């Protein structure tokens, strides 16, 4: 599989990254089956694996650790922190206190003494960026972390974080992990240009829009999401909502376009993300071996310009059909936050 530079780090990663949210209680509960999927991905040339402490409350990290036994040095291993790990209010966020505890927990579960990429899962405007960057810098200097990144940061905060790193002598964030797919294109407006300006790697999650671009959700579909992880996101999957009805209409058109191009919908969706010059590696998130094989089939697909033009006619550049999927919403625009 083609390798691409991870920003300006000098590290090269496969053009697809294996996401592991679906391994464990949130998806495939059988550890042996999950490990088989991970091994197949590695054998196919994927050398980039992404997980998070919150995925099945650490179980995903434990599965990844088992799968990488004896193969750790061949893999660029990434995990994340920040999301509430349990009911303890101290076990979440971007504070030095939690970062120092969560990294040790992740290292133990993953069975490794270092992380290639340690990412903060979301931005929290209540935590000083220098607080977070100071703790992460100490982890890099201690050899426990090689590089640091963030996920779903708004463009203004990406710029501010780079400024804080320069002015305070901190390690800088070298990657951003945003949501991105044909139905969710908001990051084309500012996030991707900003990331390019700072030489950052971009490793987008949900390139299949949580199953919408796999063909699972069609106009005649009666079933909702199968996995507990997806069931928590009702506003993105409730087929009665007008914005999701618009997604259904777009998926019908995209399915026809894929047929016309001699591709599966999955191949069309992944090839679209892979084609953008600012993208390093989309994160695929298979739950089963069948899912993985269908996604690996897109690795060598290159979309012609006329196909890209037809995609733009269905979902214009920079547009997200259901704004709930943009990943981050300014508190100033959040009606719930305004009422608090």
153 classed as catalytic: no
Least confident among 112-116, 121-125, 276-280: 121-125
Strands 17-19 and 283-284: parallel
The percentage of residues in the chain with a pLDDT greater than 90, rounded to a whole number, is 83
Listed residue (167, 238, 261) closest to 272, CA to CA: 261
User: Residue 87 contacts by C-beta under 8 Å, 6 or more apart in sequence?
Assistant: none
Q: Is 193 left (phi over 0), alpha (psi -120 to 50) or beta?
A: alpha
pLDDT in tens, 38-48: 999 999 999 99
Q: Is 30 helix (H, G, I), strand (E, B) or coil?
A: coil
Q: State the Cα–Cα distance between residues 280 and 6, nearest whole angstrom.
A: 6
How far is C-alpha 129 from the geometric centre of its chain's CA atoms? 21
- How sure is the predictor about 82, in pLDDT bands with cuts at 50, 70 and 90? very high
The sign of the CA dihedral 84, 223, 38, 178 is: negative
Q: List b or e across 285-306, with b for residues whose CB sees 16 or more CB atoms inside 10 angstroms.
A: bbbeeebbebbbebbebebeee
User: Helices 289-296 and 265-275 meet at what angle, rounded to 10?
Assistant: 60
User: Residue 173 contacts by C-beta under 8 Å, 6 or more apart in sequence?
Assistant: 148, 149, 150, 158, 161, 162, 165, 200
Q: For every residue of 230-244, which 3-state class applies, written as one string?
A: HHCCHHHHCCCCHHH
pLDDT in tens, 210-219: 999 998 776 6
pLDDT in tens, 221-256: 555 555 555 445 557 778 778 889 999 999 999 999
Residue 266: predicted pLDDT? 98
How far is C-alpha 123 from the geometric centre of its chain's CA atoms? 14
Residue in 55, 118, 153, 180 annotated catalytic: 55
Dmax over Cα atoms in the chain, in whole Å? 56
DSSP secondary structure code for residue 53 in this structure: T
């Amino acid at each position: 599989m083609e390798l691409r530079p991870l920003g300006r780090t000098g590290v090269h990663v496969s053009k697809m990254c294996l996401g592991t949210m679906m391994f464990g209680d949130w998806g495939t509960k059988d550890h042996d089956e999950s490990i088989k999927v991970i091994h197949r991905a590695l054998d196919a040339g994927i050398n980039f694996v992404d997980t998070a402490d919150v995925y099945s409350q650490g179980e995903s990290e434990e599965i990844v650790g088992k799968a990488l036994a004896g193969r750790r040095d061949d893999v660029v291993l990434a995990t994340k922190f920040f999301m509430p790990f349990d009911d303890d209010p101290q076990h979440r966020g971007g504070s030095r206190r939690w970062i120092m505890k969560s990294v040790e927990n992740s290292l133990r579960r993953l069975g490794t003494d270092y992380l290639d990429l340690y990412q903060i899962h979301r931005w929290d405007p209540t935590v000083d960026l220098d607080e977070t960057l100071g703790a992460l810098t100490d982890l890099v200097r201690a050899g426990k972390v090689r590089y640091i990144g963030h996920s779903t940061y708004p463009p203004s905060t990406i710029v501010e974080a780079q400024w804080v790193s320069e002015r305070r002598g901190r390690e800088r964030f070298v990657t951003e992990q945003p949501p991105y797919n044909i139905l969710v294109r908001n990051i084309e407006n500012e996030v991707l240009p900003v990331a390019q300006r700072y030489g950052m790697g971009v490793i987008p999650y949900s390139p299949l829009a949580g199953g919408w671009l796999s063909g699972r959700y069609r106009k005649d579909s009666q079933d909702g999401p199968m996995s507990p992880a997806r069931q928590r996101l009702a506003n993105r999957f409730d087929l009665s909502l007008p914005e999701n009805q618009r997604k259904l209409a777009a998926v019908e058109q995209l399915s026809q376009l894929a047929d016309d191009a001699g591709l599966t919908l999955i191949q069309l969706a992944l090839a679209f993300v892979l084609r953008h010059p600012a993208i390093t590696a989309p994160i695929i998130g298979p739950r089963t071996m069948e899912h993985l094989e269908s996604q690996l089939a897109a690795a060598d697909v290159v979309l012609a310009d006329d196909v890209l033009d037809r995609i733009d006619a269905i979902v214009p550049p920079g547009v997200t059909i259901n704004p709930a999927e943009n990943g981050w919403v300014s508190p100033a625009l959040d009606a719930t936050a305004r009422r608090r």
